[in-house]
Chain A
Amino acid sequence: MTLDTVLLLYPEIVVLLVATWTYVGGAFATRESARWNWFALGGLAVAALQLYRQLEPTVFTDQVSTFGPMTADALMYLARFVALAVGAVFVLATMRSTPRGQSGEIVGSILMVVAGMMLVAGATELVTLFLALELISIPTYVILYLGRRGAGGDEAVTKYFFLSILSSAVMLYGFSFLYGLSGAGGLAASTKLADIRASLVAAEAAGTLSPLASVAFVLVLAGLAFKLAAVPFHFYAPDVYHGTSSVNAGLLAVAPKIAGLIALVRLLFAMPGVESLALAVISAVALLTMTLGNVMALWQANVRRMLAYSSIAHGGYLLIGLVVALHRPDDPTAQSGLAAALLYAVVYSVASAGAFAALAYLARGTREVETLDDLAGIGRSQPGVAALLAVFMFSLAGIPPLVGFWGKLAIFTGPLDVYLASLPSDGAVVADSALALGQWYLALAVIGVLNAAVAAAYYLRIVAAMYFRPAIDDAEPQGGLGALAAATLCGLAVVAGGIFPGVGLKYAQSAGRAALAPSSEPPIEATAHAVRGVSRLPTPDR
């Protein structure tokens, strides 16, 4: 730990300090509660400012890209900005919906989750990565516990707690194998991902790759699949979302998913040699996750359960991007596949967070929106929120010109590209296995788009309930203006991102490139490029 690392982590430190202050102060304060939200927003703004200042390339000249356990690359910076934005949205959304006297705890926990997400983004060392992931999990327990609703809520929190602990343990077990593998071949064992990668590359080249690498991969994937709510570790999601408040459900749908994806990306490309296994397993998981999520969502009567399955399904789509990246990690296709996955995660998060915030706004007193009946007729009584929710639903369904469409465009281009590249050109002979692999990618694309069409069915149910049915309950929404503001911000992002998608695509690509930058390259160059790629210029093609 050097001063550089501390400087790099300045924004995270700010966020954590504010979080701690909120926690401690919240215990003493008994007065009106929204002030903690404002305080937290201020903290997030300061952190964002610090982060922005770090982007000045001069700050990084003559410094190595790895700062102790952290790596500063485009992926890290982008994910940190996303985390801060996610934090701001949820801090806004909880402004009114929290019970009296708990505001400090909830806001503090959200900030801790944000700090955890930011740390995951840059962590390239096993212990740091694990701690960062736990920094997301533990405050989540608190949030869920505080936001529980009735006996079902208690059960959901307990379920989440135990499963989360279990998944962390499984992941940690996987990490222990990785640590052991890094010491194979007489090298000193290391927890740094770059060292693990180097040692695995050497072992693979020597033909002595231990089968334990596969074991490590499976354990790590199992642990992170819980965070992504991917099949078969998805089943907690509907119960937990159902049992908690809309805002909490939104946080759960967004924060672990982004962090889990980034952690998976970091770890996956530190494990060369397991690519073919990873490809098979992850593509199967992706197929099952999106199909099961969408089909189950069709049958749900509760809105939060429906969106829980929807969030499961979206986890499946973004895994497609990862599968594309696994095909040939050194290929440009892989970069765009990874970029697509990252873009999709953000695009999904914006719409999903917005949808949950809008639902939170529509709560009537302590009664949250539960069934479609609660949404009936709000197209007339609450035209603004209804329009926002409709925008989120259409974006999640991938209808242009909303941002969700560009996410789908990016995701589905990948497997199609791999398939077309696998076709024999001009009578060249191609191995059957390569052809079969190509067809597998085609199947992934076709099943993916058909899933998108199925998904539209339940998104439309929500829209139809809002606009085509008469109101059942005319009570005024009481979720507070904060939630409305959060939903509005997300709505603006969804529309603006849909009309001007170029910016998001460009940044996602630089992040994808950074995540795949081979570790053999001098790290200093990789960083310099990547950092500049974020701040201003497009990275020149190398």
Chain B
Amino acid sequence: MSTESLVLLATIFLPLMGVGLVWAVAPSGRSVVRYVALAVSLATLAGAAWLVARFPAEGIAEGTEAFATVNAPWLGTASGIDIRFHVALDGLSLWLFALSALLTATSVLVSWTAITERVSEFFAMLLLLETGMLGVFAAQDIILFYVFFEFTLIPLFFLIGIWGSEERRYAAIKFFLFTLAGSMLTFLGILAIVLNARGVGGELTFSIPELTARLAANPLGFDLQLLIFVALFAGFAIKVPLFPFHTWLPLAHVQAPTAGSVILAGVLLKMGTYGFLRFSLPMLPDATAAAMPWMLWLSVAGIVYGALVALAQGDMKRLIAYSSVSHLGYCMLGLFALNRLGMQGGVLQTINHGLSTGGLFAIVGMVYERYHTRQIGEFGGLAKRTPLLATMMVFFTFSSIGLPGLNGFVGETLVLVGMFQRGWADVDAAGPPAGLAGQYQWISVLAVTGVVLGAWYMLWLVQRVFFGPLKEPHGHDAPGGHGDGQGAIQDMNLREIAALAPLCAFILWIGIYPQFFLDRMSDQLDTITDRGAAALERHEAREAIEVRMASESRR
């Protein structure tokens, strides 16, 4: 086993060992627990960073062995069910893997003083969740993927249910059941993929690359693809969440503790887009091509709807939660534009959203820690009181709305250019049926309105809360002191800066030099795009024949 493989293995299971460590030091008091959790999350982050640094800059072509492969039998071949412990990194998973490690460290830092009850259990759950997330993205065995995918529900269920706000019990249960209901159908879809991709001798494989290769060589029948696509869709669309399956999200986000929101928005939603990218698109290209208009419409509906609802929110966290619905719409729009730029933009946007929205949730958490409310109407002019926090807020807002020079701009532009290509440029070349081209054009235009709306609700939020005359809740602004005896409101401290600074660095890095990130994944994305484009051509040809037959029969 190479060094890389060992490091990958260690990185995935370090947080799990950290759980035991946190447990062991729990009697020594909260602050020891906090430092141990921080140390573990930083060590994990270091492992992830080292892996990113060693990852081949030109990416990994499909069909070649992935980076840092660990492949060991798990269930044993004796039972005929060769489910393996197979983890590795490739272009599709590398950045989400790194993002998980990064945001966990951020979460530990933002929970430092926010969590005062059952501290050791909290950090244990957070670290448990980290192992789950890292495992989801590293898994190269389809069942192992599902095991990690479902496992993440348990720690997040406890994080929301124990450390959340007033309605936490309801939110935790709704979150769990909603996602479980979807992912049980996904489970059937996954089993169907495995059962259909039998080898020459009828033997089953559970390895994702092997399944991809087999299904590329022998694509499934169209009807079957569609059926499996729908099954996978059930779980992944709820996870993303795609409009109209998003109703669990605002509740879960608002009720979750800050760290939970950061992880939920930053990583867990991405498990949905990742699922589409890893399974639906490469393994079911024909169904993807057929579902494309539907998926695009749902995505754009989410973009516009999420933005409009965000405009109407009076609670900061809820506003950002709805902005997530809108932003994830862009990710999905990019993926299902099924062309090179759109795909790259979609994947990059999943990372961007993790950085910017993760940061925004962290900032809202910091405001809440100071004032114990999130109602926008109760704030005003906080920039005077907490200039540094306001600066950070403006920075992350700019990232979120896509200011040129920051990451959001690159991602959104790629997605929109991809979509516009789909709507206009490709019309002459491949020639989608006229009706569809019209639809795509509408979708493109509507998607752009999302950008405008996004700038509106985010800037309006910043304006109301951080600018204008100073206004603080709870009589904090009353002359002579602070209503609830909290002491003076402090600006960001070093710990809070440390939590957000790495996110800022990556926001700038992606904004200035996105190529570094795109290079490592574009090869694999191109393969998926090519397969999707071929499927799209087949689909259009089939449609054209049907149209012709229909018109002939009419005559």
Binding site for B on A (CB under 8 A): 379-380, 394, 397, 399-401, 405, 408-409, 412-413, 416-417, 420, 423, 445-446, 449-450, 452-453, 456-457, 460-461, 463-464, 467-469, 501-502, 505-506, 509, 538
Nearest-CB distance from A401 to chain B (Å)? 5
Produce 1/0 per residue, B198-234, CB < 8 A to A: 0000000000000000000000010010000000000
Given contacts A416-B195, A467-B161, A468-B161, contact A453 B177 (CB under 8 A): yes
Nearest-CB distance from A314 to chain B (Å)? 16
Q: Does B433 contact A (CB under 8 A)?
A: no
> Are B191 and A464 interface neighbours, CB within 8 A?
no
Produce 1/0 per residue, B300-337, CB < 8 A to A: 00000000000000000000000000000000000000
Besides A417-B195, A464-B169, 17 other A-B contacts (C-beta < 8 A): A379-B162, A380-B118, A394-B154, A399-B154, A401-B147, A401-B151, A405-B147, A420-B195, A423-B221, A423-B224, A453-B177, A453-B181, A464-B173, A467-B161, A501-B75, A502-B74, A505-B81
> Are B184 and A450 interface neighbours, CB within 8 A?
yes
- Inter-chain contacts of B168 with A (CB < 8 A): 468
Nearest-CB distance from A143 to chain B (Å)? 35
A449's closest neighbor in chain B, by CB? B184
Given contacts A417-B195, A464-B161, A468-B169, contact A506 B76 (CB under 8 A): yes
- Inter-chain contacts of B173 with A (CB < 8 A): 457, 460-461, 464
Nearest-CB distance from B505 to chain A (Å)? 35
Which of A379, A416, A452, A461 gathers the greatest number of chain B CB atoms within 10 Å? Answer: A416
29 residue pairs bridging A and B, Cβ less than 8 Å apart: A397-B180, A399-B153, A400-B146, A401-B147, A409-B143, A412-B188, A413-B195, A416-B188, A416-B192, A416-B195, A420-B195, A423-B224, A446-B188, A449-B185, A450-B185, A452-B184, A453-B180, A453-B181, A457-B177, A460-B176, A467-B162, A468-B168, A468-B172, A502-B79, A505-B79, A505-B81, A506-B79, A509-B79, A538-B78
- Inter-chain contacts of A412 with B (CB < 8 A): 187-188, 191
Produce 1/0 per residue, B150-192, CB < 8 A to A: 1101100110011000001100110011001100110110011
Q: Does B80 contact A (CB under 8 A)?
A: yes
Bound form: Cα–Cα A460–B75 in Å: 29
Closest 9 CB pairs of A and B: A400-B147, A538-B78, A449-B184, A502-B75, A453-B181, A502-B76, A505-B79, A506-B79, A468-B161
B221's closest neighbor in chain A, by CB? A423
Nearest-CB distance from A467 to chain B (Å)? 6
Bound form: Cα–Cα A468–B255 in Å: 13
**What's the A-B contact tally at a CB cutoff of 8 Å?**
92
> Are A446 and B76 interface neighbours, CB within 8 A?
no
Q: Which of A416, A469, A538 contacts B191 (CB 8 A)?
A: A416
- Inter-chain contacts of A445 with B (CB < 8 A): 188
Q: Does B71 contact A (CB under 8 A)?
A: no
Q: Does B196 contact A (CB under 8 A)?
A: yes
- Inter-chain contacts of B150 with A (CB < 8 A): 399-400, 405
Bound form: Cα–Cα A446–B184 in Å: 9
- Inter-chain contacts of A468 with B (CB < 8 A): 161-162, 168-169, 172
- Inter-chain contacts of A464 with B (CB < 8 A): 161, 169, 172-173
B143's closest neighbor in chain A, by CB? A409
Bound form: Cα–Cα A487–B143 in Å: 29
Interface size class of B (residues with CB under 8 A): 35 or more
- Inter-chain contacts of B143 with A (CB < 8 A): 409
Given contacts A399-B153, A468-B161, contact A502 B78 (CB under 8 A): yes
- Inter-chain contacts of B118 with A (CB < 8 A): 380
Nearest-CB distance from A386 to chain B (Å)? 11
B224's closest neighbor in chain A, by CB? A423
Bound form: Cα–Cα A445–B189 in Å: 11
> Are A449 and B78 interface neighbours, CB within 8 A?
no
A457's closest neighbor in chain B, by CB? B177
- Judged by DSSP, the binding face of B is helix
- Inter-chain contacts of B180 with A (CB < 8 A): 397, 399, 453, 456
Nearest-CB distance from A390 to chain B (Å)? 9
Bound form: Cα–Cα A412–B195 in Å: 12
- Inter-chain contacts of A379 with B (CB < 8 A): 162
Q: Which of B146, B151, B185 contacts A446 (CB 8 A)?
A: B185
Bound form: Cα–Cα A135–B81 in Å: 37
- Inter-chain contacts of B146 with A (CB < 8 A): 400
A413's closest neighbor in chain B, by CB? B191
> Are A420 and B188 interface neighbours, CB within 8 A?
no
- Inter-chain contacts of A456 with B (CB < 8 A): 176-177, 180
Bound form: Cα–Cα A412–B146 in Å: 15
Produce 1/0 per residue, B430-455, CB < 8 A to A: 00000000000000000000000000
- Inter-chain contacts of A397 with B (CB < 8 A): 180
- Inter-chain contacts of B158 with A (CB < 8 A): 467
Nearest-CB distance from A291 to chain B (Å)? 15
Q: Which of A401, A423, A446, A460 contacts B177 (CB 8 A)?
A: A460
> Are A449 and B172 interface neighbours, CB within 8 A?
no
B76's closest neighbor in chain A, by CB? A502
Nearest-CB distance from A446 to chain B (Å)? 7
Bound form: Cα–Cα A416–B449 in Å: 44
Bound form: Cα–Cα A412–B143 in Å: 14
> Are A506 and B147 interface neighbours, CB within 8 A?
no
Nearest-CB distance from A13 to chain B (Å)? 33
- Inter-chain contacts of A423 with B (CB < 8 A): 221, 224
Bound form: Cα–Cα A461–B170 in Å: 10
Bound form: Cα–Cα A505–B80 in Å: 10
- Inter-chain contacts of B153 with A (CB < 8 A): 399
> Are A450 and B78 interface neighbours, CB within 8 A?
no
Bound form: Cα–Cα A380–B118 in Å: 9
Bound form: Cα–Cα A460–B174 in Å: 10
Produce 1/0 per residue, B68-107, CB < 8 A to A: 0000001110111100000000000000000000000000
Nearest-CB distance from A504 to chain B (Å)? 9
Nearest-CB distance from B499 to chain A (Å)? 27
> Are A450 and B181 interface neighbours, CB within 8 A?
yes
B153's closest neighbor in chain A, by CB? A399
Bound form: Cα–Cα A538–B75 in Å: 13
Nearest-CB distance from A533 to chain B (Å)? 10
- Inter-chain contacts of A380 with B (CB < 8 A): 118
B135's closest neighbor in chain A, by CB? A401
B198's closest neighbor in chain A, by CB? A420
Bound form: Cα–Cα A513–B144 in Å: 27
B148's closest neighbor in chain A, by CB? A400
Given contacts A394-B154, A412-B188, A456-B177, contact A506 B162 (CB under 8 A): no
A467's closest neighbor in chain B, by CB? B162
Nearest-CB distance from B399 to chain A (Å)? 35
- Inter-chain contacts of B78 with A (CB < 8 A): 502, 506, 538
Q: Which of B403-441 contact A (CB under 8 A)?
A: none
- Inter-chain contacts of A509 with B (CB < 8 A): 79-80
Nearest-CB distance from B161 to chain A (Å)? 5
Nearest-CB distance from A114 to chain B (Å)? 28
- Inter-chain contacts of B169 with A (CB < 8 A): 464, 468-469
Nearest-CB distance from B121 to chain A (Å)? 9
Bound form: Cα–Cα A106–B224 in Å: 56
- Inter-chain contacts of B172 with A (CB < 8 A): 464, 468
Bound form: Cα–Cα A456–B150 in Å: 13
> Are B161 and A449 interface neighbours, CB within 8 A?
no
B158's closest neighbor in chain A, by CB? A467
- Inter-chain contacts of A401 with B (CB < 8 A): 147, 151
Bound form: Cα–Cα A467–B122 in Å: 12
> Are B191 and A399 interface neighbours, CB within 8 A?
no
Bound form: Cα–Cα A467–B80 in Å: 40
- Inter-chain contacts of A399 with B (CB < 8 A): 150-151, 153-154, 180
Bound form: Cα–Cα A394–B224 in Å: 32
> Are A420 and B196 interface neighbours, CB within 8 A?
yes
Q: Which of B225-265 contact A (CB under 8 A)?
A: none
A499's closest neighbor in chain B, by CB? B74
- Inter-chain contacts of A457 with B (CB < 8 A): 173, 177
Bound form: Cα–Cα A167–B7 in Å: 60
Bound form: Cα–Cα A493–B143 in Å: 21
Bound form: Cα–Cα A445–B157 in Å: 26
